[in-house]
Structure 1
Amino acid sequence: VGAKWIVVSIGTLERSRDFSRENNIPVEIVYGDETNATYDALMFRRGVKQTFGEKATPESIAKRIQKDGAKTLLGVLKRWKPWLPPKQEQGFQQGGTIVFKGERAVYKWYDVSTGAHAPVEDVLKAAGAVTMA
């Protein structure tokens, strides 16, 4: 693809390293954001309503159940760790996906709620990958 992938996670450097090991992601591309600076600068959504009150949350869970019986979700839950973010309000932080070409954002996805992530095919296409679609 020629793309450089970077993962920014809420939490400490230690937790970002734990996350990379748990998910088999190279540790050198995973960064911890203790202060929420990245999430705030990108204006990702945050709040109790956005975490639990959006209809997209149960819809995304239902999609996973219909797709494969939620095998991926259940697999993640088996490995779930009770990692608490540095700030209490970060527990209600939503993320997103941004693809840059140079300094220009060519794709932006703001997670509406928990589990409502960017479609992988869209992200790969924006990054210049040849996709199956």
Structure 2
Amino acid sequence: MAKMISPRNLTSSTSLLFPSTHSPTSLHSPPSVGFSTKPITRGRFAAEPGGTSLVAKASSTPTPVVPDDIADVLGEVSIFTAAGQPVKFQDLWDQKEGMAVVALLRHFGCPCCWELAATLKESKEKFDSAGVKLIAVGVGTPDKAQLLAERLPFPLDSLYADPDRKVYDILGLYYGLRRTFLNPASAKVFSRVDALKKAMKNYTIKATPDDRSSVLQQGGMFVFKGKQLLYARKDEGSGDHAPLDDIFNICCKVPAA
């Protein structure tokens, strides 16, 4: 499920963001704290045992806490361009008024992500004409990103690598064996077999991260205007991508005459 977020619904917080669903010591996915179509509510916070950081506790309703400082939290995170240059997240788009679609791929060796990347590439002209910056981030090192960019192909200036999954952890994107292989949402990819085959024409498994635990990471889709979060969606399973029509309706609408 996805949530289109109004500024009035954002809650103020000094916390990181959503409760992290990544656990490096387990292959099993924790309980879902997925997005809801209900209004965003203020969450309860408590210090983690043995630490001082604040995390959002799951409430009785499945509504996540979305702090209004999410862009600032992400801003200081360093990832890499596909060419291997470090770059801070805050430098990827205009933080005042710029519109950005941030697509978090699973990893560069994921066939479903090649299909998503192909779809995003086909949509890039529409994004460009609307003045929207397309940012695709994948798990893996820059050399793995280059394999996808060269063989799909995909524009290098829109592709970024997050080998340590820093952005994914901050956004609390799903992680685990069950999410990757056993979640019912993963079956959606079978309705797009033709598109998958086309995207995988030049596919190579060499694009898979050397850290094999990374293949259990799930992705998501986010839309920002400046630092304001307009849309947020966590993929429930592999191949469970955000409907692009939803994204277009937010950032590529033609103003009414």
TM-score bracket for the superposition, by shorter chain length: 0.7 to 0.9
Shift in Å, 1:109 = 1.2
Checking the alignment, whether the CA contact within 8 Å between 2:235 and 2:242 is kept in structure 1 is yes
Q: Pick one of 138, 142, 146 that aligns with 1:9.
A: 138
Determine the C-alpha separation between the residues in 2 that align with 1:46 and 1:96.
12
> Which structure would you say has the larger Rg?
2
User: 1:89–1:101: structure 2 CA closer, same or farther, 3 Å change rule?
Assistant: same
Q: From the two aligned structures, give the one with the greater strand fraction.
A: 2
Q: Deviations over 1:23-64 (max 9, x none)?
A: 332201211111111111111111000011111112x03422
1:61 aligns with 2:189: yes
Name the SS for the 1:7 alignment partner: strand
Aligned residues: 124
Superposed, which structure 2 residues align to 1:1-133 within 5 Å?
1-58=130-187, 60-64=188-192, 70-82=193-205, 83-130=207-254
Q: Which amino acid aligns with 2:201?
A: K
User: 1:62–1:14: structure 2 CA closer, same or farther, 3 Å change rule?
Assistant: closer
Q: Deviations over 1:89-115 (max 9, x none)?
A: 211111011000111110111111011
Determine the C-alpha separation between the residues in 2 that align with 1:17 and 1:129.
32
Q: From the two aligned structures, give the one with the greater helix fraction.
A: 1
**TM-score scaled by length of structure 1:** 0.84
Determine the C-alpha separation between the residues in 1 that align with 2:137 and 2:150.
14
Structure 2: stretches of 5+ with no match in the other structure:
1-129
User: 1:17–1:112: structure 2 CA closer, same or farther, 3 Å change rule?
Assistant: same
Determine the C-alpha separation between the residues in 2 that align with 1:94 and 1:114.
6
Tell me whether 98-107 or 81-90 shows the greater mean CA deviation.
81-90
Determine the C-alpha separation between the residues in 1 that align with 2:225 and 2:164.
26
Determine the C-alpha separation between the residues in 1 that align with 2:139 and 2:239.
16
Structure 1: stretches of 5+ with no match in the other structure:
65-69
Shift in Å, 1:77 = 3.4
Q: CA RMSD in A?
A: 1.5
Q: Which amino acid aligns with 2:219?
A: G
Determine the C-alpha separation between the residues in 1 that align with 2:190 and 2:137.
27
